[in-house]
Structures are given as C-alpha cells and as structure tokens.
Amino acid sequence: MKSSLLFLLLAMALSSSALIPEVEGMSKDYKSLRVRIGNSSTKAVLSGTLTIPCHITYQSPAEEVTVGRRAVLATPRVKWTFISNGKEVEILVARGHKVKINEAYRLRASLPHYTTSAYDVTLVLKDLISNDSGIYKCHVQHGIEDDHEMLEVKVKGVVFLYREGISRYTYTFPMAQEACNRIKAHIATADQLLAAYHGGYEQCDAGWIADQTVRYPIQTPREGCYGDMDGFPGVRNYGVLDPGDMYDVYCYVEELNGEVVLGSAPNKFTLSEARDYCRTLGAEMANTGQLYAAWNEGVDQCNPGWLADGSVRYPIVTPREKCGGNSPGVKTVFQFRNQTGFPDPQARYDVYCFRGEGPVQTEDHGETPSPPAERVEGVITVTESFEELKLPEAKAENEAQGFVDTIPLNKTDATKLAGVEVLSTVKDLQEVPPQPTALVDENVNGDEDLSPGVASFPPYEDHSDDSEESTTMDYKTTAIFRHSQGDTPGFVPESTQATLEGEALPTADVCFPNPCENGGTCIEEDDDNFHCLCLPGYFGKVCEINVEKCPDEWDSFQGFCYKHFYERKSWEEAETHCRDFGGHLVSIITPEEQDFVNNQYKDYQWTGLNDRTIEGDFQWSDGNTVLFENWNKGQPDSYFLSGEDCVVTGWHDNGQWSDVPCNYHLPYTCKMGLVTCGPPPEVANASTYGRPKTRYQINSVIGYRCDNGFLQRNSPVIRCQSDGMWEEPQISCLPSLQ
C-alpha cells in the first residue's frame, strides 16, 4: 500500500509541467542541464525580426521551491549574449520573474514565452540592423550546472543610394522605382533606410523611398545636411512630395540568386568588350544591385570593373591600402568630384559578370554614347561606404571625402602592389561641362524652347474679346534657373515687373483691404462706413494709437510681445522659461504672425504647438485655438512613433512646421499679451492656487481657496480682462462653526 502511494505521488509530480521542468531519459552518464538552440524560424533581413528558439531540458527533476528567496535561486539563470569581432556583449539576463535587458537592446529584444514557461527562453530581436550579424549565445546556469549553445546569424539586405552617371537628382518617383528594378533591386522602405542608419549608414543626398517621401540619413550633422533635424543625427525627412519632383533614389537588395564573377584580361575591357566577355562565359554583366548583394555576402575584390549600367565599381569587405580607404563598402569610379560622370565607354577596366541560378537572359544594351566635353586629368574613385560616407553640405557642389584616387592620364600598364592589382589608368576621359546658370530675360511665351531643365510656361491666350472692358498687362519676367550639383534643381523667380493700364473698378467693400492697423478687425456698418475693433493696448479710428508698450528687449506685433532666446532648451524647459515671464512659447494664429516670426527671428525654433496629451490632437500651449496651419508636406508624421510630439518652425520655406521629439534642444521665442494683469487682488482668509506670477495674460483664470477653518461662499474663480484688470472676486471665506 505504501509503495503504491509513493508511485502515485511520483506520477503526479512528473505530470505537472507548470512546476517541474522537462525531463530527459535517465542515465548515469548524463549532464543534468542541457540547452538546445533550434534553427531560426525567420530569415534575418534588414529591418526584419529574428527569432532564435532556445529550450532548457533536465536529465532529472529539479528541486521544487515555490516561495521565498530560494524560489528564485531554484530557477535557472538565463543570459543571451552577442559575439562579434572578438567581443561579447550582453543582450539580456532573466531569472525568476525578472528580465533585465541591456539598454542598447531595450526596445528590440524580448523573451516572449518566458512568462508562461521558464524553460522556453526563445529570443526575439526586431528592427534588425547590419551590425546584428554575428554569433548569438544562449547560456543557462542552474546551481553548479550550466550549458550553452550558439548560432551564427547573417543579416541580409543592404540600402544604397543610386543615381545616373549624368548628374544628381534626375529621378521622378516613378523613374526612381524603375531605376531600382533595372539594377535588380527594389526601392527602399522607410524601415529599411532607418535600419541602415542605425547600422551606421550616412549619405547627404536626398533620395526617394517607397512611401513617396524623400529622406536621407545623417550620422554627423553639419551645415547643408541639417534637413528638418537641425544639429541632431537621424534620418532627414522632406515628407510626401510631388511624384514629378526629381531626386536620387535609395535602393534595397537582399538576395543575390546567383554568383558574381570577376573577369579580367591583360588589356582590360571597354564597355562593349566587357559585355561580350561575359557572354562568352555564358553569363551577363552584373547589375549594381547584384554587386551590392555580393558584397553583402562577403565578396571582396580590389579590381574596378564594368557593370551593366555603364558604371565602374568594386566591393571591399576588408579595407586595406589602395583598396578603398578606411571603411568597407562598394566603391564607385566617377569622373568628377561631385560624384557624377561614369567613365568613358572606351576606357578599360575589368568586368563583373553574373551567373544566375536559372537560364541566363542577356540584353543588348549597346554602347553608352559619350557627349562632347572637355578633357580632365583623371578619374575619381569615391567610397560609397555602407558604414560611413561623410559628404559636405548638400547645397553646394559636393566633393567626396572618403577614399579618393586621382589617376594621371598617361597610359600605363596595369601594375601590381603587394599581390593586389592596382587601378589601371585611363586616357582621354571626357568631362561633361557643368551646367551654367541659365539667365532668362524674356516676354514669356509658351512656344519658347527652353534649355533642358528650365521651366516652361503655358502659351499666352488672348482674351481681349471676352468682355467689353479689359486690362492690359506688360509682364516681364527675369528668371534664374539654378542647377547646382548639390541642390535640388529649381526655378527661382528673380524679379517680376507688372504694369497695369486702364481704370480699376471701384470696390464696394469698405473693409477690403483692411483699413485697421495693428491687427484690428474691420466691422462694416450700414452707411458704407466702418469701425475698427482694436486689440488690447491700441485705440483710435484705425487702432493707430499704441497705449501700451512691451517691456525692454521685447518686440511688439498686433497686440502681443515677443522675445527670442538663442539658448537651446528642450521644449518643456523653453515653455517653463516663457511662463516665468507670464507668457508661453509662441503661438502662430495668422499668416501675418507667421511672416513676423520668420522675418524677425531667422531661426529653426520651438513653437507652443504640441500633441503631448493626445496623439494627433495638436494644441497651443497658451490655450489659443488652432486657426491657422502651415505644415510641411507629409507632416505631422510622428516619425516611426518616436515621440515627435512638439512642433518646430524654420524661417526658410515660409516657416513651415514639422513635428519632432520634444527632447531636442532648440532656440525658442516667448509670446505674451501686450496688455496683461498684475498679481490678483487679495481676499481675506484666502490664497490663490499655483505659484504666484507678476504678469498674467488676458483671459488667464486663477482660483482662490479658503484657509483652514474657513468655509467658501460664491465662485472662487476670476478672469484677467482685456483692459488688464481682474474681475472683482466674488468669493468670501466665513469662519467655520465647528
């Protein structure tokens, strides 16, 4: 009977999976604790999610403790680490009901099954970046027993900037999509570009991405590369733009689906000879996307070679002297220092061929024609590094600051250096002359044939017979078309002169244009007259008399006072500072006020607009109603839900607004009413709520509370009136009868 009872208790214990860990077959020759990593169930790709299964098993039941400190010690200690370049970094540690995650992985790493089973310690890592490639180690310790297993992970996928060899910024959005497809890649998504940035990618060139926005990643902010983030690193975002606008494009490639082979010959190849050579191998010329995919898989060649688009590039995984400078990446040979101009098709280089996994389909691309141009003294090899490419400002002609080789033009044989073939020199390279500034001074007519890239106008239509009366206009436009290699091409009106002939018709609206000054409101009366409703601090027939003045060092505009502070603060710190003066961060209620702020304070600065309380519900910090909006295209976007709850305005682009994280440190402008109220009146046996101020804005409300031992009668609230006087307090505090 006793033996039967013991057997029953043992069976019940083994069946309780919630209390007892998994148990393997018993043996004298066993390791008590075992850790097993299964194959990852998901592919490791840039910006994707990686799942690494890891399970703990025991050869014999572990001691069961359910309460106290010993309950924690009786559970296994789990540690996930990441090993790369000889360094081991802790990802997380878990024991009992606690999981401690390294700050660097805090938003990305988790143990999704650990709360339900302490023996399923599967790791999930999201938002993968290229630097996540390496060895992942699942280490478990329980008492004196420990075990671990490791899994090597390679994150596939690379984002790169692509442009035609002719010049920068030549793709509309549809053309950008087609360009990436043509080189066996896809247009990058916002997530992929962000992941590339977090992996160290930098490029000061605006490019299309898949959501029809234009962005570029900056690690080291500098003049010309600030974008919408001023002096902070991050992915700059122009927002959703017109698909007809022209920029470069960010492409993404993941799978090679074949192999890239370097082809070489003693005399190298011209572009057409390179294409023929690949055909003799039963292959085709590799595309740019295929070379990037090969580099991402570890292909390392210090031989510049032709690609199918007429460019010359070479992949460097291990940087070394004469092979791409200090950083890995796919290097590109350009003719000009502004990173434009593919080499002359008659120049001689090696070639990169591609053999696909299926039948090879070749296309006859023909030779790329070379336009007539001036000779130059060399070619430039530019580092297009996945790790780092630091360019000067984007609004000027850019010179690459990575690895640059200037090669003399005299024809020489290929040389060898330390067993590595050095770049062959090229003779008679042709340079496309830089586009001159086109000065157009003309009477505008749609039939005019403007130079490529210069904006044209619709033909003039004569409507003189449409009505009995007409107004003639001599319209002369002097326009400058600026097309620098570092800026977005644009048509900039230089001056506009207009002369009207004939009599203007009388207007019946006495309030148009507004005769009231200083922001006054015109009220039309029945007898074709008007009167002005003046803002606080002004009076007179048209509000021309200013009876109040702003404090020293404050500027006055339409009944309000403004002061700009160049000291950089977070949004909350700036708002607090403004409240110390009895004001708030500037609210922009009208287009005229926007113009005033733009012209008076030429800065990238905070405004009081924010959605810190409810996502998407923007409110001014001074309580004003949002009556005017001036958002940039694509804004507000709360970029990747990254806490972009505060709004900035810049003096350029008409002061358009963008939402950014509130912890940025920026200059700011405070705004307060021209007429304000002083300290509120004192009430016997009562005090006001909040910290006392010396100035209160119009419509500010304060409340009183009775002292201990007194009871409140009547309303405790008063308001600051438009004349700068407080309402008469109605509250009275009577002694309590108790």
Q: What is the pLDDT of residues 328-341, one digit of tens each?
A: 899 999 888 778 88
- Residue 706 makes CB contacts below 8 A (sequence gap 6+) with 685, 686, 712, 731, 733
Mean pLDDT score, 290-300:
93
Cβ distance 375 to 189 under 8 Å? Answer: no
pLDDT > 60? residue 228: yes
Closest by CA position to 56, among listed 145, 153, 152, 151: 145
Pairing mode, if any, of strands 530-533 and 521-524? antiparallel
Cβ neighbour number for residue 627 with a 10 Å cutoff: 10
pLDDT > 80? residue 320: yes
Domains of the chain: residue spans and CATH = 15-153 (2.60.40.10), 158-252 (3.10.100.10), 255-388+396-416 (3.10.100.10), 508-547 (2.10.25.10), 555-673 (3.10.100.10), 676-735 (2.10.70.10)
> Which tops the pLDDT comparison, 572 or 9?
572
Place of tokens 């003046």: 534
CA distances from 184 to 178, 181, 216, 356, 474 (A): 10, 5, 22, 12, 53
- 454 — pLDDT class (breaks 50, 70, 90): very low
**How high is the pLDDT of residue 642?**
57
- 73 — pLDDT class (breaks 50, 70, 90): low
pLDDT > 70? residue 312: yes
pLDDT > 60? residue 435: no
CA distances from 34 to 29, 51, 454 (A): 13, 20, 72
Determine the Cα–Cα distance for residues 60 and 71; give it in Å rounded to an integer.
18
Determine the Cα–Cα distance for residues 292 and 485; give it in Å rounded to an integer.
25
- Beta strand segments in 32-133, E: 33-37, 50-52, 54-58, 77-84, 87-95, 98-101, 109-110, 123-125
**How high is the pLDDT of residue 326?**
80
**How high is the pLDDT of residue 641?**
53
- 64 — pLDDT class (breaks 50, 70, 90): low
Tens digit of pLDDT for each residue in 585-596?
A: 999 998 989 999
- Residue 560 makes CB contacts below 8 A (sequence gap 6+) with 671, 672, 673, 674
**How high is the pLDDT of residue 473?**
37
Least confident of 65-69, 90-94, 481-485: 481-485
> Which tops the pLDDT comparison, 354 or 393?
354
Least confident of 37-41, 68-72, 527-531, 558-562: 68-72
Closest by CA position to 240, among listed 629, 633, 631, 632: 633
Determine the Cα–Cα distance for residues 132 and 44; give it in Å rounded to an integer.
9
CA distances from 422 to 303, 324, 332, 528, 645 (A): 7, 11, 15, 87, 53
23-28 contacts, C-beta under 8 A, 24 or more apart: 23/57, 23/58, 23/59, 23/60, 23/61, 24/57, 24/58, 24/59, 25/59, 26/59, 26/60, 27/59
**How high is the pLDDT of residue 338?**
76
Place of tokens 């580092």: 383
The dihedral of CA 589, 591, 596, 599: what is its sign?
positive
pLDDT > 60? residue 446: no
Mean pLDDT score, 234-248:
92
Cβ distance 46 to 195 under 8 Å? Answer: yes
Q: Rounded mean pLDDT of the chain?
A: 75
Mean pLDDT score, 145-172:
90
Return the top range by mean pLDDT from 97-106, 287-296, 720-729: 287-296
Instruction: Calculate the CA dihedral of residues 201, 206, 208, 211 and round it to 10 degrees.
Output: 80
> Which tops the pLDDT comparison, 522 or 680?
680
**How high is the pLDDT of residue 321?**
77
> Which tops the pLDDT comparison, 508 or 193?
193
Cβ distance 349 to 306 under 8 Å? Answer: yes
> Which tops the pLDDT comparison, 584 or 324?
584
User: What DSSP character marks residue 631?
Assistant: B
The dihedral of CA 112, 117, 120, 121: what is its sign?
positive
Tens digit of pLDDT for each residue in 556-566?
A: 888 889 999 99
Backbone φ/ψ region at 198: left (φ over 0), alpha (ψ -120 to 50), beta: alpha
**How high is the pLDDT of residue 625?**
80
**How high is the pLDDT of residue 434?**
37
pLDDT > 60? residue 508: no
**How high is the pLDDT of residue 221?**
87
pLDDT > 70? residue 315: yes
**How high is the pLDDT of residue 674?**
78
| 635, burial (CB in 10 Å: exposed 0-12, middle 13-18, buried 19+) | buried
Mean pLDDT score, 226-241:
84
Place of tokens 């890891």: 54
- Residue 369 makes CB contacts below 8 A (sequence gap 6+) with 345
Return the top range by mean pLDDT from 63-77, 162-176, 180-194, 710-724: 180-194
Mean pLDDT score, 543-551:
77
Mean pLDDT score, 151-155:
91
Percentages helix, strand, coil for the chain (3-state, rounded to 5) are 10, 35, 55
**How high is the pLDDT of residue 607?**
96
Determine the Cα–Cα distance for residues 233 and 638; give it in Å rounded to an integer.
17
**How high is the pLDDT of residue 611?**
86
Tens digit of pLDDT for each residue in 455-506?
A: 333 333 333 333 333 333 333 333 333 333 333 333 333 333 333 344 444 4
Q: Which helix (H) or strand (E) holds 142?
A: strand 134-142
Tens digit of pLDDT for each residue in 341-359?
A: 899 999 999 999 999 876 5
Show the 3-state SS of 477-546: EEEEEECCCCCCCEEEEEEEEEEEECCCCCCCCCCCCCCCCCCCEEEECCCCCEEEECCCCEECCCCCEE
Could you give the 3-state DSSP secondary structure of residue 646? strand
Cβ neighbour number for residue 422 with a 10 Å cutoff: 17
Cβ distance 640 to 190 under 8 Å? Answer: yes
Query: And the tokens for 546?
Result: 């200013």
**How high is the pLDDT of residue 494?**
38
| 560, burial (CB in 10 Å: exposed 0-12, middle 13-18, buried 19+) | buried
Entry field: residues in the chain: 738
Mean pLDDT score, 667-686:
89
Q: What percent of the chain has pLDDT over 70?
A: 71
